[in-house]
Amino acid sequence: MRPVSLPEIPYSATAVRPAWGDLPAAVRSAVSLRLGAPVTAATTATSGFTTAFAGLLTSGSGERVFVKAAPFGNTSFAYAREARITAGLPIGVRAARPLWTLEADGYYVLCLTAIDGRIPAHPWRPAELDATLTAWRSAAEALAAPPAALLEAGLPSLPDLVRDELSWFSNQVPPHLPAWAQSHLTELADLERGLPALVAGSGVVHGDLRIDNVLIDRDAEAWLCDWTWPCLGAPWFDTVTLLVSAWATGLNTDALLDAWDAPPAGVDGALAAMGGYWLARAAGSTGTAAATARQHHLYSGTQALAWLAARRGWAD
């Protein structure tokens, strides 16, 4: 059995966020007013990579909600898009739904239904991974025919995203590349170039499916979070990105992919493309993300390429 590989900082502790009390008083007052009672308890989310506020709030009336708040800018744009996308998700998608939004003192605030859950354990527990794959299967089936509301929001195609953002080996050698990969650069670029045709599809995919965008509730059911970057493509691509963290912890991810009709060349292409993208992101600016995002990108990129090497019989 191959060794388990874990990031230095657990996914449950990557967040670098302000606390509820750090938000401007005008923002806190506006939220309390919208809730109809003062906020009496606030628990800041400990996972994720944005540096904006996200946390569970409880009001004096006992209402519990999940609130995200960010100054106007890139993160607030993402929250506004998440509000629009989650409002248009069909019933078959297990995801928090928006309750309301507001703007106050230069901040955008998104209020979502609260899910009483936690991110999955890492290393993955097989039962929690099964629950996550079941939730994603149900979501993919519900989104096979995109709802009009999502199409009106504007969804990019996954093939275009692969060409525009996930083609590092076709243009330059990504930093942090494992030594063994230097002798496979041509093959890695070829896998990237063949990927767009293989990920084409008319259904909606999550676009950012990973372990810290999942919550396991008290009934051991999985919920899919952070619907900010959905696109149109083949659902097995999201399954591959999700399973990278499972491969790193010793699970038989190739067997888990059997149920997703994923073409072998597509899986290899996805691992090459995402591996190059993640390694490039690990060396670049984090922008508005927390510094812990670099660890996530380096870990994910390294593991994606290691999984690819195992599949192709390359030395790692």
Residue 278: which H helix or E strand, with range?
A: helix 264-283
Q: In what order do the strands lie in the sheet with 107-113?
A: 39-44, 53-59, 64-71, 107-113, 98-104
pLDDT tens digits for 228-251?
999 999 999 999 999 999 999 999
Q: What is the dihedral of CA 258, 212, 300, 174, to 10 degrees?
A: 120
Q: What is the pLDDT of residue 1?
A: 61
> What dotted CATH number matches 11-116?
3.30.200.20
User: What backbone phi and psi angles, to 5 degrees, belong to 150?
Assistant: -75, -40
Tell me, which fold does domain 118-312 have in CATH?
Aminoglycoside 3'-phosphotransferase; Chain: A, domain 2 (3.90.1200)
Q: What is the pLDDT of residue 316?
A: 55
Q: What is the pLDDT of residue 40?
A: 98
Beta-carbon-side half-sphere exposure of residue 162 (alpha carbons within 13 Å):
27
Residues of the chain scoring pLDDT < 70: 1, 316
Contact predicate 222/132, CB 8 Å = yes
Q: 104 forms bridges with which residues in the sheet?
A: 107
DSSP letter assigned to residue 124: P
Q: What is the pLDDT of residue 3?
A: 83
| Domain segments of the chain as ranges | 11-116, 118-312
pTM: 0.96
pLDDT tens digits for 87-116?
999 999 999 999 999 999 999 999 999 999
